[in-house]
Protein backbone atom coordinates (compact mmCIF):
# COMPACT_ATOMS: atom_id res chain seq x y z
CA UNK A 1 0.00 0.00 0.00
CA UNK A 2 0.95 3.62 -0.34
CA UNK A 3 1.52 5.78 2.72
CA UNK A 4 1.28 9.57 2.78
CA UNK A 5 2.18 11.56 5.84
CA UNK A 6 4.05 14.64 6.90
CA UNK A 7 7.52 13.96 8.25
CA UNK A 8 9.57 16.76 9.76
CA UNK A 9 7.34 19.33 8.09
CA UNK A 10 7.49 17.86 4.59
CA UNK A 11 4.88 15.75 2.82
CA UNK A 12 6.38 12.30 2.27
CA UNK A 13 5.21 9.26 0.37
CA UNK A 14 6.23 5.63 0.70
CA UNK A 15 5.20 2.91 -1.72
CA UNK A 16 4.89 -0.88 -1.36
CA UNK A 17 4.40 -0.53 2.36
CA UNK A 18 3.39 -3.84 3.96
CA UNK A 19 0.28 -3.43 6.14
CA UNK A 20 1.95 -5.09 9.13
CA UNK A 21 5.13 -3.04 9.19
CA UNK A 22 5.78 -0.34 11.74
CA UNK A 23 6.16 3.38 11.35
CA UNK A 24 9.72 2.87 12.60
CA UNK A 25 10.50 0.59 9.67
CA UNK A 26 9.00 3.11 7.22
CA UNK A 27 11.06 5.95 8.67
CA UNK A 28 14.35 4.06 8.74
CA UNK A 29 14.15 1.80 5.70
CA UNK A 30 11.88 3.64 3.29
CA UNK A 31 12.32 7.33 4.06
CA UNK A 32 16.04 7.35 4.86
CA UNK A 33 15.63 8.66 8.39
CA UNK A 34 17.76 6.37 10.59
CA UNK A 35 17.79 8.75 13.58
CA UNK A 36 15.03 6.87 15.36
CA UNK A 37 16.68 3.68 16.58
CA UNK A 38 15.40 0.14 16.52
CA UNK A 39 16.50 -1.63 19.67
CA UNK A 40 13.66 -3.75 21.00
CA UNK A 41 10.65 -3.47 18.69
CA UNK A 42 8.40 -4.02 21.69
CA UNK A 43 7.88 -0.62 23.27
CA UNK A 44 10.27 -1.26 26.13
CA UNK A 45 13.26 0.93 25.33
CA UNK A 46 11.97 4.20 23.84
CA UNK A 47 14.86 4.53 21.40
CA UNK A 48 12.31 4.84 18.56
CA UNK A 49 10.37 7.69 20.21
CA UNK A 50 8.93 10.17 17.70
CA UNK A 51 6.18 12.74 17.84
CA UNK A 52 2.96 11.78 16.10
CA UNK A 53 0.48 14.65 15.96
CA UNK A 54 2.48 16.28 18.74
CA UNK A 55 2.47 13.29 21.10
CA UNK A 56 5.54 11.14 21.83
CA UNK A 57 4.97 7.53 20.80
CA UNK A 58 7.05 4.43 20.16
CA UNK A 59 7.29 4.34 16.36
CA UNK A 60 7.82 0.57 16.57
CA UNK A 61 4.27 0.19 17.93
CA UNK A 62 2.51 2.34 15.32
CA UNK A 63 1.32 0.36 12.30
CA UNK A 64 2.48 2.16 9.17
CA UNK A 65 -1.08 2.72 7.94
CA UNK A 66 -2.04 4.33 11.23
CA UNK A 67 0.34 7.19 10.35
CA UNK A 68 -1.56 7.97 7.13
CA UNK A 69 -2.14 11.72 7.00
CA UNK A 70 -0.51 12.25 10.38
CA UNK A 71 2.20 14.69 11.31
CA UNK A 72 5.38 12.88 12.35
CA UNK A 73 8.47 14.57 13.79
CA UNK A 74 11.64 12.54 14.31
CA UNK A 75 14.84 13.51 16.05
CA UNK A 76 16.14 14.70 12.66
CA UNK A 77 13.31 17.24 12.59
CA UNK A 78 14.08 18.85 15.92
CA UNK A 79 16.15 21.97 15.49
CA UNK A 80 19.51 21.69 17.22
CA UNK A 81 18.73 23.33 20.53
CA UNK A 82 19.30 23.37 24.26
CA UNK A 83 18.39 19.71 24.73
CA UNK A 84 21.03 18.34 22.36
CA UNK A 85 23.59 20.87 23.65
CA UNK A 86 22.89 19.84 27.23
CA UNK A 87 23.41 16.15 26.38
CA UNK A 88 26.83 17.05 24.98
CA UNK A 89 27.72 19.35 27.86
CA UNK A 90 26.72 16.81 30.52
CA UNK A 91 28.42 13.83 28.86
CA UNK A 92 25.04 12.11 28.66
CA UNK A 93 25.97 10.27 25.45
CA UNK A 94 28.12 7.16 25.44
CA UNK A 95 27.25 4.69 22.69
CA UNK A 96 24.45 7.07 21.73
CA UNK A 97 21.87 4.46 20.83
CA UNK A 98 19.34 5.73 23.35
CA UNK A 99 20.04 9.38 22.67
CA UNK A 100 17.59 10.13 19.81
CA UNK A 101 14.65 8.75 21.78
CA UNK A 102 15.72 10.55 24.90
CA UNK A 103 16.13 13.83 23.03
CA UNK A 104 12.54 13.59 21.78
CA UNK A 105 11.23 12.62 25.25
CA UNK A 106 13.12 15.46 26.95
CA UNK A 107 12.03 17.91 24.25
CA UNK A 108 8.42 16.95 24.99
CA UNK A 109 8.89 17.15 28.76
CA UNK A 110 10.40 20.65 28.63
CA UNK A 111 7.75 21.85 26.20
CA UNK A 112 5.11 20.89 28.77
CA UNK A 113 7.03 21.89 31.87
CA UNK A 114 10.02 24.23 31.71
CA UNK A 115 11.10 23.52 35.30
CA UNK A 116 10.42 19.84 36.06
CA UNK A 117 11.29 18.36 39.45
CA UNK A 118 13.56 15.33 39.66
CA UNK A 119 10.64 12.92 40.19
CA UNK A 120 8.91 14.48 37.17
CA UNK A 121 12.03 14.01 35.05
CA UNK A 122 12.32 10.37 36.11
CA UNK A 123 8.65 9.75 35.38
CA UNK A 124 8.87 11.42 31.96
CA UNK A 125 11.90 9.31 31.01
CA UNK A 126 10.62 6.03 32.47
CA UNK A 127 10.04 4.69 28.96
CA UNK A 128 13.61 5.30 27.74
CA UNK A 129 16.31 2.79 28.57
CA UNK A 130 20.03 3.52 28.53
CA UNK A 131 22.51 0.68 28.97
CA UNK A 132 25.63 2.84 29.25
CA UNK A 133 25.37 6.00 31.30
CA UNK A 134 23.65 4.90 34.49
CA UNK A 135 21.22 7.79 33.89
CA UNK A 136 22.90 10.30 36.21
CA UNK A 137 24.41 12.26 33.31
CA UNK A 138 21.10 12.14 31.50
CA UNK A 139 19.33 13.66 34.51
CA UNK A 140 22.10 16.30 34.60
CA UNK A 141 21.46 17.05 30.95
CA UNK A 142 17.75 17.58 31.55
CA UNK A 143 18.49 19.95 34.43
CA UNK A 144 20.96 21.88 32.26
CA UNK A 145 18.52 22.07 29.35
CA UNK A 146 15.76 23.26 31.68
CA UNK A 147 17.99 25.98 33.12
CA UNK A 148 19.20 27.26 29.75
CA UNK B 1 -2.16 -8.57 4.69
CA UNK B 2 -4.97 -6.05 4.20
CA UNK B 3 -5.22 -2.80 6.08
CA UNK B 4 -8.82 -1.79 6.72
CA UNK B 5 -9.29 1.76 7.85
CA UNK B 6 -12.94 2.66 8.48
CA UNK B 7 -13.70 6.24 9.49
CA UNK B 8 -17.16 5.67 10.95
CA UNK B 9 -18.44 3.25 13.57
CA UNK B 10 -20.95 1.74 11.14
CA UNK B 11 -18.18 1.11 8.62
CA UNK B 12 -16.03 -0.45 11.35
CA UNK B 13 -18.82 -2.86 12.33
CA UNK B 14 -19.50 -3.68 8.67
CA UNK B 15 -15.79 -4.34 8.11
CA UNK B 16 -15.60 -6.66 11.14
CA UNK B 17 -18.71 -8.53 9.94
CA UNK B 18 -17.22 -8.93 6.46
CA UNK B 19 -13.75 -9.85 7.80
CA UNK B 20 -14.25 -11.62 11.13
CA UNK B 21 -10.61 -12.74 11.11
CA UNK B 22 -9.30 -9.16 10.81
CA UNK B 23 -7.44 -8.11 13.95
CA UNK B 24 -8.60 -4.77 15.37
CA UNK B 25 -5.78 -2.38 16.23
CA UNK B 26 -6.17 0.64 18.50
CA UNK B 27 -3.03 1.84 20.29
CA UNK B 28 -1.14 -1.11 18.84
CA UNK B 29 0.85 -1.65 22.05
CA UNK B 30 -0.12 -5.33 22.16
CA UNK B 31 -0.85 -5.99 18.48
CA UNK B 32 2.38 -4.52 17.08
CA UNK B 33 4.57 -6.48 19.49
CA UNK B 34 2.98 -9.67 18.15
CA UNK B 35 3.46 -8.57 14.53
CA UNK B 36 7.02 -7.37 15.05
CA UNK B 37 7.98 -10.74 16.53
CA UNK B 38 6.10 -12.78 13.95
CA UNK B 39 3.87 -14.29 16.60
CA UNK B 40 0.82 -13.37 14.61
CA UNK B 41 0.19 -12.97 10.90
CA UNK B 42 -3.50 -12.07 10.53
CA UNK B 43 -5.03 -11.72 7.05
CA UNK B 44 -6.00 -8.12 7.86
CA UNK B 45 -5.64 -5.33 10.39
CA UNK B 46 -8.69 -3.24 11.22
CA UNK B 47 -7.47 0.18 12.31
CA UNK B 48 -9.87 1.77 14.79
CA UNK B 49 -7.98 5.01 15.36
CA UNK B 50 -10.04 6.95 12.80
CA UNK B 51 -13.37 6.07 14.41
CA UNK B 52 -14.13 9.24 16.36
CA UNK B 53 -16.88 7.94 18.70
CA UNK B 54 -14.44 5.41 20.18
CA UNK B 55 -12.36 8.28 21.55
CA UNK B 56 -15.25 10.10 23.23
CA UNK B 57 -16.67 9.86 26.73
CA UNK B 58 -19.81 11.25 28.32
CA UNK B 59 -22.76 10.43 30.57
CA UNK B 60 -25.34 7.75 29.87
CA UNK B 61 -28.13 8.04 32.47
CA UNK B 62 -26.40 7.84 35.85
CA UNK B 63 -23.39 6.11 34.33
CA UNK B 64 -20.26 7.34 32.67
CA UNK B 65 -19.73 5.86 29.21
CA UNK B 66 -16.11 5.85 28.03
CA UNK B 67 -15.22 4.93 24.45
CA UNK B 68 -12.96 1.91 24.01
CA UNK B 69 -10.34 4.06 22.25
CA UNK B 70 -9.74 6.59 25.04
CA UNK B 71 -6.04 6.38 25.93
CA UNK B 72 -4.63 5.86 29.42
CA UNK B 73 -3.20 9.35 29.22
CA UNK B 74 -6.64 10.86 28.68
CA UNK B 75 -8.16 8.73 31.44
CA UNK B 76 -5.54 10.13 33.81
CA UNK B 77 -5.92 13.73 32.61
CA UNK B 78 -9.66 13.92 31.96
CA UNK B 79 -11.24 11.30 34.22
CA UNK B 80 -8.90 11.28 37.22
CA UNK B 81 -11.56 12.60 39.61
CA UNK B 82 -14.53 10.71 38.12
CA UNK B 83 -12.84 7.30 37.86
CA UNK B 84 -10.06 7.51 40.47
CA UNK B 85 -9.36 3.77 40.68
CA UNK B 86 -9.00 3.36 36.93
CA UNK B 87 -6.86 6.51 36.77
CA UNK B 88 -4.55 5.14 39.47
CA UNK B 89 -4.20 1.90 37.55
CA UNK B 90 -3.62 3.82 34.31
CA UNK B 91 -0.74 5.73 35.89
CA UNK B 92 1.04 2.41 36.45
CA UNK B 93 0.75 1.24 32.84
CA UNK B 94 4.04 1.00 30.93
CA UNK B 95 5.62 4.37 30.26
CA UNK B 96 4.44 7.78 28.98
CA UNK B 97 4.81 6.56 25.38
CA UNK B 98 2.67 3.48 26.12
CA UNK B 99 0.04 5.50 28.00
CA UNK B 100 -0.14 7.97 25.10
CA UNK B 101 -1.27 5.18 22.77
CA UNK B 102 -2.62 2.28 24.84
CA UNK B 103 -6.37 2.08 25.46
CA UNK B 104 -8.71 0.38 27.92
CA UNK B 105 -10.51 -1.18 24.94
CA UNK B 106 -7.21 -2.76 23.91
CA UNK B 107 -6.61 -3.99 27.46
CA UNK B 108 -10.06 -5.65 27.41
CA UNK B 109 -9.43 -6.97 23.90
CA UNK B 110 -6.20 -8.65 25.01
CA UNK B 111 -7.98 -9.98 28.13
CA UNK B 112 -4.70 -10.67 29.89
CA UNK B 113 -5.12 -11.73 33.53
CA UNK B 114 -2.50 -9.05 34.27
CA UNK B 115 -4.25 -6.18 32.46
CA UNK B 116 -4.15 -3.23 34.83
CA UNK B 117 -7.49 -1.71 33.81
CA UNK B 118 -9.38 -4.85 34.77
CA UNK B 119 -9.25 -4.79 38.60
CA UNK B 120 -10.67 -1.25 38.89
CA UNK B 121 -13.35 -2.04 36.29
CA UNK B 122 -14.31 -5.15 38.30
CA UNK B 123 -14.32 -3.23 41.58
CA UNK B 124 -16.60 -0.52 40.24
CA UNK B 125 -19.02 -3.00 38.63
CA UNK B 126 -18.39 -1.78 35.09
CA UNK B 127 -20.27 -2.94 32.01
CA UNK B 128 -18.54 -3.63 28.71
CA UNK B 129 -20.50 -2.56 25.63
CA UNK B 130 -20.02 -4.90 22.67
CA UNK B 131 -21.40 -4.17 19.23
CA UNK B 132 -21.77 -5.83 15.86
CA UNK B 133 -24.01 -5.37 12.83
CA UNK B 134 -26.39 -7.67 14.73
CA UNK B 135 -26.80 -5.19 17.56
CA UNK B 136 -25.36 -4.03 20.87
CA UNK B 137 -25.08 -5.79 24.23
CA UNK B 138 -23.76 -4.77 27.59
CA UNK B 139 -21.89 -7.43 29.56
CA UNK B 140 -20.91 -7.07 33.25
CA UNK B 141 -17.12 -7.01 33.24
CA UNK B 142 -16.96 -10.02 35.60
CA UNK B 143 -18.74 -12.04 32.90
CA UNK B 144 -16.52 -10.71 30.09
CA UNK B 145 -13.38 -12.78 30.72
CA UNK B 146 -13.45 -16.51 29.94
CA UNK B 147 -9.81 -17.54 30.44
CA UNK B 148 -6.27 -16.30 29.86
CA UNK B 149 -6.55 -13.98 26.82
CA UNK B 150 -10.10 -15.18 26.13
CA UNK B 151 -13.32 -13.24 26.42
CA UNK B 152 -16.96 -13.38 25.31
CA UNK B 153 -16.17 -11.08 22.37
CA UNK B 154 -17.56 -12.73 19.21
CA UNK B 155 -15.57 -12.72 15.93
CA UNK B 156 -17.90 -10.13 14.38
CA UNK B 157 -17.99 -7.90 17.47
CA UNK B 158 -16.03 -4.85 18.52
CA UNK B 159 -15.73 -3.30 21.96
CA UNK B 160 -17.54 0.04 21.82
CA UNK B 161 -17.15 1.35 25.35
CA UNK B 162 -17.26 0.60 29.04
CA UNK B 163 -19.75 2.05 31.50
CA UNK B 164 -19.19 2.82 35.17
CA UNK B 165 -21.35 4.39 37.85
CA UNK B 166 -19.00 6.99 39.32
CA UNK B 167 -18.94 8.10 42.95
CA UNK B 168 -17.20 5.26 44.76
CA UNK B 169 -14.15 5.83 46.91
CA UNK B 170 -11.56 3.83 45.01
CA UNK B 171 -8.02 2.54 45.43
CA UNK B 172 -5.62 0.47 43.37
CA UNK B 173 -2.30 -1.12 44.20
CA UNK B 174 0.07 -3.19 42.13
CA UNK B 175 3.13 -5.24 43.01
CA UNK B 176 6.02 -5.29 40.56
CA UNK B 177 9.78 -5.36 40.51
CA UNK B 178 9.99 -1.63 39.91
CA UNK B 179 7.63 1.31 39.45
CA UNK B 180 7.80 1.84 35.69
CA UNK B 181 7.18 -0.53 32.83
CA UNK B 182 6.14 -3.52 34.84
CA UNK B 183 3.62 -6.30 34.34
CA UNK B 184 1.84 -6.83 37.64
CA UNK B 185 3.02 -9.69 39.84
CA UNK B 186 -0.42 -9.17 41.36
CA UNK B 187 -2.73 -6.20 41.76
CA UNK B 188 -5.83 -5.26 43.67
CA UNK B 189 -8.57 -2.66 43.31
CA UNK B 190 -11.17 -1.64 45.89
CA UNK B 191 -14.29 0.49 45.57
CA UNK B 192 -16.46 1.57 48.50
CA UNK B 193 -19.89 3.18 47.94
CA UNK B 194 -21.39 4.60 51.08
CA UNK B 195 -24.90 5.22 49.74
CA UNK B 196 -25.25 1.72 48.36
CA UNK B 197 -23.15 0.21 51.20
CA UNK B 198 -21.43 -1.68 48.49
CA UNK B 199 -17.90 -3.05 48.45
CA UNK B 200 -16.33 -3.88 45.09
CA UNK B 201 -13.06 -5.71 44.52
CA UNK B 202 -10.88 -6.71 41.60
CA UNK B 203 -7.84 -9.01 41.63
CA UNK B 204 -5.28 -8.97 38.83
CA UNK B 205 -2.57 -11.46 37.85
CA UNK B 206 -3.55 -14.10 40.39
CA UNK B 207 -6.03 -16.33 38.55
CA UNK B 208 -6.68 -17.42 34.94
CA UNK B 209 -8.77 -14.26 34.54
CA UNK B 210 -9.11 -11.03 36.49
CA UNK B 211 -11.65 -11.80 39.23
CA UNK B 212 -13.71 -10.34 42.04
CA UNK B 213 -13.38 -11.56 45.62
CA UNK B 214 -17.09 -12.04 46.24
CA UNK B 215 -16.96 -13.41 49.77
CA UNK B 216 -14.57 -10.67 50.81
CA UNK B 217 -16.94 -8.06 49.37
CA UNK B 218 -19.92 -9.42 51.31
CA UNK B 219 -17.97 -9.77 54.53
CA UNK B 220 -16.62 -6.24 54.38
CA UNK B 221 -19.93 -4.64 53.40
CA UNK B 222 -21.53 -6.26 56.44
CA UNK B 223 -18.66 -5.43 58.80
CA UNK B 224 -17.92 -1.78 58.05
CA UNK B 225 -19.35 0.92 60.29
CA UNK B 226 -20.81 2.85 57.34
CA UNK B 227 -22.90 5.22 59.53
CA UNK B 228 -20.39 6.59 62.03
CA UNK B 229 -17.38 5.61 59.93
CA UNK B 230 -15.40 4.60 63.00
CA UNK B 231 -12.03 2.95 62.53
CA UNK B 232 -11.89 -0.45 60.84
CA UNK B 233 -11.11 -3.04 63.54
CA UNK B 234 -7.81 -4.81 62.78
CA UNK B 235 -9.61 -8.16 62.94
CA UNK B 236 -11.96 -7.02 60.12
CA UNK B 237 -9.06 -5.80 57.99
CA UNK B 238 -7.19 -9.05 58.56
CA UNK B 239 -10.19 -11.22 57.69
CA UNK B 240 -10.82 -9.11 54.58
CA UNK B 241 -7.22 -9.69 53.50
CA UNK B 242 -7.56 -13.43 54.10
CA UNK B 243 -10.77 -13.64 52.07
CA UNK B 244 -9.23 -11.69 49.18
CA UNK B 245 -6.22 -14.01 49.14
CA UNK B 246 -8.53 -17.04 49.34
CA UNK B 247 -10.47 -15.87 46.28
CA UNK B 248 -7.35 -15.92 44.11
CA UNK B 249 -6.01 -18.98 42.31
CA UNK B 250 -2.42 -17.95 41.63
CA UNK B 251 0.30 -19.97 39.97
CA UNK B 252 4.10 -20.00 40.17
CA UNK B 253 5.63 -18.25 37.17
CA UNK B 254 8.63 -16.14 36.20
CA UNK B 255 7.17 -13.09 37.94
CA UNK B 256 6.49 -14.68 41.31
CA UNK B 257 5.33 -17.70 43.25
CA UNK B 258 1.74 -18.54 44.09
CA UNK B 259 2.49 -18.27 47.80
CA UNK B 260 4.02 -14.82 47.37
CA UNK B 261 1.03 -13.64 45.35
CA UNK B 262 -1.45 -14.84 47.99
CA UNK B 263 0.47 -13.13 50.74
CA UNK B 264 0.90 -9.92 48.74
CA UNK B 265 -2.81 -9.81 47.91
CA UNK B 266 -3.81 -9.95 51.55
CA UNK B 267 -1.42 -7.08 52.25
CA UNK B 268 -2.71 -5.02 49.30
CA UNK B 269 -6.31 -5.66 50.41
CA UNK B 270 -5.63 -4.38 53.93
CA UNK B 271 -3.67 -1.39 52.66
CA UNK B 272 -6.19 -0.28 50.07
CA UNK B 273 -8.94 -0.67 52.67
CA UNK B 274 -7.11 1.63 55.08
CA UNK B 275 -6.51 4.22 52.34
CA UNK B 276 -10.06 4.09 51.03
CA UNK B 277 -11.66 4.24 54.47
CA UNK B 278 -9.59 7.32 55.23
CA UNK B 279 -10.78 8.77 51.91
CA UNK B 280 -14.41 8.42 53.01
CA UNK B 281 -14.02 11.03 55.75
C1 LIG C 1 6.29 -1.67 26.88
C2 LIG C 1 4.90 -2.08 27.25
C3 LIG C 1 4.46 -1.96 28.56
C4 LIG C 1 3.18 -2.34 28.91
N5 LIG C 1 2.79 -2.20 30.21
C6 LIG C 1 1.53 -2.56 30.57
C7 LIG C 1 1.11 -2.40 31.92
O8 LIG C 1 1.84 -1.92 32.78
N9 LIG C 1 -0.16 -2.80 32.23
C10 LIG C 1 -1.01 -3.32 31.29
O11 LIG C 1 -2.14 -3.65 31.62
N12 LIG C 1 -0.62 -3.47 30.01
C13 LIG C 1 0.62 -3.11 29.63
N14 LIG C 1 1.02 -3.26 28.33
C15 LIG C 1 0.11 -3.90 27.36
C16 LIG C 1 -0.75 -2.91 26.56
O17 LIG C 1 -0.18 -1.62 26.55
C18 LIG C 1 -2.18 -2.81 27.12
O19 LIG C 1 -2.79 -4.07 27.10
C20 LIG C 1 -3.03 -1.81 26.36
O21 LIG C 1 -4.20 -1.55 27.09
C22 LIG C 1 -3.42 -2.27 24.96
O23 LIG C 1 -4.17 -1.25 24.35
P24 LIG C 1 -3.96 -0.87 22.80
O25 LIG C 1 -4.96 0.16 22.47
O26 LIG C 1 -2.55 -0.55 22.53
O27 LIG C 1 -4.35 -2.28 22.16
P28 LIG C 1 -3.99 -2.93 20.75
O29 LIG C 1 -2.62 -3.48 20.77
O30 LIG C 1 -4.38 -2.03 19.65
O31 LIG C 1 -5.05 -4.14 20.83
C32 LIG C 1 -4.98 -5.11 21.84
C33 LIG C 1 -6.02 -6.21 21.60
O34 LIG C 1 -7.33 -5.69 21.72
C35 LIG C 1 -8.03 -5.80 20.49
N36 LIG C 1 -8.81 -4.57 20.37
C37 LIG C 1 -8.37 -3.28 20.52
N38 LIG C 1 -9.41 -2.43 20.46
C39 LIG C 1 -10.53 -3.17 20.26
C40 LIG C 1 -11.92 -2.86 20.11
N41 LIG C 1 -12.40 -1.60 20.20
N42 LIG C 1 -12.79 -3.89 19.92
C43 LIG C 1 -12.34 -5.17 19.87
N44 LIG C 1 -11.05 -5.52 20.02
C45 LIG C 1 -10.15 -4.53 20.21
C46 LIG C 1 -6.97 -6.02 19.42
O47 LIG C 1 -7.46 -6.74 18.34
C48 LIG C 1 -5.94 -6.80 20.20
O49 LIG C 1 -6.31 -8.15 20.29
C50 LIG C 1 2.30 -2.86 27.93
C51 LIG C 1 2.72 -2.97 26.60
C52 LIG C 1 4.01 -2.58 26.26
C53 LIG C 1 4.44 -2.68 24.83
S1 LIG D 1 12.46 0.01 19.47
FE2 LIG D 1 10.57 0.93 19.91
S3 LIG D 1 10.57 1.01 22.06
FE4 LIG D 1 12.38 -0.11 21.64
S1 LIG E 1 24.42 5.86 25.75
FE2 LIG E 1 24.45 3.75 25.22
S3 LIG E 1 22.40 3.17 25.59
FE4 LIG E 1 22.44 5.15 26.37
Q: pLDDT digit string (tens) for A82-123?
A: 999 999 999 999 999 999 999 999 999 999 999 999 999 999
Ranges of residues in chain B whose predicted pLDDT is under 50? none
Q: Could you tell me if residue B11 is inside a domain?
A: yes
Determine contact: A60 vs chain B, CB below 8 A.
yes
Centre of ligand 2 to C-alpha A46, Å, is 5
Pairwise CA distance, residues B125 & A26, whole Å: 43
User: Is the Cβ–Cβ distance between B244 and B214 less than 8 Å?
Assistant: no
Mutate to test the interface with B, among A105, A126, A129, A130 (most CBs of B within 10 A): A126
Residue of A nearest to B31 (CA): A61
Q: pLDDT digit string (tens) for B36-79?
A: 999 999 999 999 999 999 999 999 999 999 999 999 999 999 99
Q: Could you give the ipTM of this predicted complex?
A: 0.97
Domain end, chosen from A20, A53, A77, is at A77
Question: If you average pLDDT over residues A51-55, what whole number do you get?
Answer: 98
How far is B28 from chain A, CA to nearest CA, in Å? 6
pLDDT at B73: 98
Determine contact: A123 vs chain B, CB below 8 A.
yes
* Residue of A92, A95, A94 whose CA lies nearest to A106: A92
- The domain of A99 spans 82-147
A123 with A89, same domain: the answer is yes
Q: Which ligand is nearest to the CA of B16?
A: 1
Centre of ligand 1 to C-alpha B265, Å, is 24
* Ligand 3 atom closest to A131 (CA): 3
CATH code of the domain containing A114 = 1.10.150.120
Q: Is the CB of A98 under 6 A from ligand 3?
A: yes
Q: What residues does B137 pair with on adjacent strands?
A: B130
A123 with A104, same domain: the answer is yes
CATH code of the domain containing A15 = 3.10.20.30
Using alpha carbons, list the distances in angstroms from residue B33 to A50, A97, B38, B126, B175.
17, 21, 9, 28, 24
A63 with A93, same domain: the answer is no
User: Is the Cβ–Cβ distance between A101 and A48 less than 8 Å?
Assistant: yes
Helix, strand, coil shares of chain A, percent, nearest 5, are 40, 15, 45
- CA dihedral angle for residue B181, residue A46, residue B81, residue B218, rounded to 10 degrees: -20
How far is B6 from chain A, CA to nearest CA, in Å? 11
- CA dihedral angle for residue B33, residue B39, residue B45, residue B46, rounded to 10 degrees: -70
CA–centroid distance for A30 within its chain: 18
Determine contact: A103 vs chain B, CB below 8 A.
no
Q: Could you tell me if residue B147 is inside a domain?
A: no
pLDDT at B180: 84
* Ligand 1 atom closest to B109 (CA): 34
**pLDDT confidence bin for A9, thresholds 50/70/90:** very high
- The domain of B177 spans 169-279
A94 with A41, same domain: the answer is no
How far is A116 from chain B, CA to nearest CA, in Å? 15
Candidates B2, B41, B49; nearest CB to A66: B49
A30 with A95, same domain: the answer is no
Domain end, chosen from A20, A45, A77, is at A77
For the packed helices A136-147 and A82-90, what is the interaxial angle rounded to 10 degrees?
140
Identify the burial level of B61 via C-beta atoms within 10 angstroms of its C-beta, where 0-12 means exposed, 13-18 middle and 19 or more buried: exposed
Provide the pairing of β-strand A49-52 with A71-73. antiparallel
A36 with A99, same domain: the answer is no
How far is A57 from chain B, CA to nearest CA, in Å? 5
A32 with A68, same domain: the answer is yes
Centre of ligand 3 to C-alpha B196, Å, is 54
Q: Could you tell me if residue B55 is inside a domain?
A: no
Which residues, at least 6 apart from B56, have a Cβ–Cβ distance to it below 8 Å? B67, B70
Q: SS in 3 state form for chain B?
A: CEEECCCCHHHHHHHHHHCCCCEEECCCCCHHHHHHCCCCCCCEEEECCCCHHHHCEEEECCEEEEECCCEHHHHHHHHCCCCHHHHHHHHCCCCHHHHHHCEHHHHHHHCCCCCCCHHHHHHCCCEEEEEECCEEEEEEHHHCEEECCEECCCCCCEEEEEEECCCCEEEEEEECCCCCCCCCCEEEEEEEECCCCEEEEEEECCCCCCECCHHHHHHHHHHCCCCCCCCCCHHHHHHHHHHHHHHCCCCCECCECHHHHHHHHHHHHHHHHHHHHHHHC
Determine contact: A40 vs chain B, CB below 8 A.
no
Q: Whose CA is nearest to atom 4 of ligand 3?
A: A130
Cβ < 6 A, ligand 2 pocket: A 38-41, 43-48, 58, 60
Question: If you average pLDDT over residues A12-17, what whole number do you get?
Answer: 97
A22 with A73, same domain: the answer is yes
CATH code of the domain containing B201 = 3.30.390.50
B181: which chain A residues are within 8 Å (Cβ-Cβ)? 44, 126-127
Q: pLDDT digit string (tens) for A21-40?
A: 999 999 999 999 999 999 99
Candidates B47, B96, B101; nearest CB to A61: B101
pLDDT at B139: 98
pLDDT at B181: 86
A68 with A22, same domain: the answer is yes
Q: Could you tell me if residue B101 is inside a domain?
A: no
Number of structural domains found in chain B: 2
A9 with A73, same domain: the answer is yes
Pairwise CA distance, residues B89 & B23, whole Å: 26
Q: Whose CA is nearest to atom 15 of ligand 1?
A: B30
| pTM as predicted | 0.97
Q: Is the CB of A132 under 6 A from ligand 3?
A: yes
Q: Could you tell me if residue B35 is inside a domain?
A: yes
Number of structural domains found in chain A: 2
Using alpha carbons, list the distances in angstroms from residue A64 to A72, A128, B139, B201, B260.
12, 22, 33, 39, 42
Domain end, chosen from A46, A77, A108, is at A77
Amino acid sequence: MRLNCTVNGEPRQADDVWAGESLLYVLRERLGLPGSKNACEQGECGSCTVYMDGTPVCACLVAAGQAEGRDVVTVEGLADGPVQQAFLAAGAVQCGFCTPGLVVAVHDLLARDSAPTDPEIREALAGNLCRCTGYEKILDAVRIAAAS
Amino acid sequence: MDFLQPSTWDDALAAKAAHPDAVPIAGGTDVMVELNFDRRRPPALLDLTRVAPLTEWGTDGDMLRVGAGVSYRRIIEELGSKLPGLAMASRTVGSPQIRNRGTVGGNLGSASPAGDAHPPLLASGALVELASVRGTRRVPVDAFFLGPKRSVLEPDELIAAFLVRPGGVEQFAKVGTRNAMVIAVCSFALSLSREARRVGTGIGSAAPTPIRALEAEEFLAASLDWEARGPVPPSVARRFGELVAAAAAPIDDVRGTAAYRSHALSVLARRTLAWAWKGMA
